[in-house]
């Protein structure tokens, strides 16, 4: 009888869903499960739901450690989530200790953007890259930098928030207290807000038809579908958003000069619609830095990136504590 395979479990905790996977030391995903997190039911119910997923995917296998990539802000030092913004009621929630007690193994906590970046570096589009910048565009805009296989950390181990780079001082207000943040201009909810306003002004747009006549259903996915069908308003907005993504990326290229940038998240499934203005923006800084040497490409792992990255973080924690 063969011995049970040794695994770590990676958990990807977002504002809507939580996913977990059993992963080998070589990066093979053996088991996968996901469910709604239903954050408004409170953190205790959420932690119990996460524990249930970990138990499900690890059944019959030797669990070595658990890694969690959570929508931030998080406090890695204390193992706490401090995010009532996208996880309502989750403020100063200790998530590490309950899982450590439940399973008797080390538990790593990372920002979800860091986990996704680590996953893409380990098994995806950034495999083997020495300096990897990962940008995830979904409900928010998350950024992470992997240097020689390790997550770059700021003061006291905190995660930098590139999504809150201020691009327009006269732009829309953001929950962070600023105005015109990258996230408040071009993350999923911002896109839906601005598209719905645009469609109200121009109801002849194909976007409204694709949304079943309901303005409230117009979002980034509807925009992408309409743009591929040649809708002028949708094409106008993909060009506008591509320029905004390009502006944010240029700031990061100038600062970090990575070898490669991978773009992930739900919005970037339509990377091809934004690609031209993004590359034009990168080329505009060529006289200052060798931007043409920075590879820009879509992420490869999709929803698996955060799970694989969290599992890798758990492996790294095991090595640090060995």
Q: Any idea what DSSP says for residue 265?
A: S
Cα–Cα distance between 57 and 20 in angstroms, integer? 7
What pLDDT score was predicted for residue 3?
67
Per-residue pLDDT tens over the stretch 242-275 = 999 999 999 999 999 999 999 998 899 999 999 9
What pLDDT score was predicted for residue 2?
58
Instruction: Tell whether 152 and 20 lie within a shared domain.
Output: no
Q: Which residues have CB under 8 Å from 55's CB, separation 6+?
A: 103
Instruction: Tell whether 21 and 153 lie within a shared domain.
Output: no
Confirm if 303 and 12 have CB atoms less than 8 A apart: yes
Enumerate the β-bridge partners of residue 22. Answer: 9, 31
Per-residue pLDDT tens over the stretch 195-242 = 999 999 999 999 999 999 999 999 999 999 999 999 999 999 999 999
- The CATH number that applies at residue 20 is 3.30.420.40
Q: What's the whole-model pTM score?
A: 0.89
- Structural domain that includes position 134: 125-195+231-298
Instruction: Tell whether 246 and 98 lie within a shared domain.
Output: no
Q: State phi, psi for 176 to the nearest 5 degrees.
A: -75, -10
Confirm if 182 and 154 have CB atoms less than 8 A apart: no
Instruction: Tell whether 276 and 143 lie within a shared domain.
Output: yes
**Number of domains forming the structure of the chain:** 2
| Strand runs labelled E in 82-202 | 93-94, 107-111, 131-137, 141-147, 150-151
Q: Which residues of the chain have a pLDDT value below 70?
A: 1-3, 322
């Amino acid at each position: 009888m063969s011995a049970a395979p040794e695994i770590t479990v990676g958990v990807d905790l977002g504002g809507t869903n939580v996913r977990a996977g059993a992963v080998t030391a070589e990066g093979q995903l053996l088991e996968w499960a996901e469910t709604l997190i239903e954050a408004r039911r409170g953190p205790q119910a959420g932690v119990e739901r996460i524990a249930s997923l970990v138990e499900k995917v690890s059944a019959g296998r030797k669990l070595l450690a658990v890694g969690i990539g959570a929508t931030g802000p998080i406090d890695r030092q204390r193992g706490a989530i401090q995010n009532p913004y996208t996880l309502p009621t989750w403020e100063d929630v200790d998530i590490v200790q309950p899982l450590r007690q439940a399973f008797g193994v080390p538990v790593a906590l990372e920002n979800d953007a860091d986990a996704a970046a680590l996953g893409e570096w380990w098994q995806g589009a950034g495999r083997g890259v020495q300096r990897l910048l990962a940008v995830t565009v979904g409900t928010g805009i998350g950024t992470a930098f992997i240097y020689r296989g390790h997550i770059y950390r700021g003061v006291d181990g905190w995660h930098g928030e590139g999504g809150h780079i201020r691009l327009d001082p006269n732009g829309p207000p953001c929950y962070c207290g600023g105005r015109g943040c990258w996230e408040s201009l071009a993350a999923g909810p911002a896109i839906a807000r601005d598209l719905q306003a645009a469609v109200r002004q121009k109801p002849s747009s194909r976007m409204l038809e694709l949304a079943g006549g309901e303005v409230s259903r117009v979002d980034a996915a509807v925009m992408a579908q309409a743009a591929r069908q040649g809708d002028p308003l949708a094409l106008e907005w993909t060009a506008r958003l591509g320029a905004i993504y390009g502006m944010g990326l240029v700031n990061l290229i100038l600062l970090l000069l990575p070898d490669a940038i991978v773009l992930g998240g739900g919005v970037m499934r339509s990377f091809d619609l934004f690609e031209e203005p993004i590359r034009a923006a990168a080329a505009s800084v060529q006289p200052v830095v060798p931007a043409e040497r920075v590879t820009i490409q879509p992420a490869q792992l999709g929803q698996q990136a955060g799970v694989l990255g969290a599992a890798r973080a758990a492996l790294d924690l095991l090595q640090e504590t060995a």
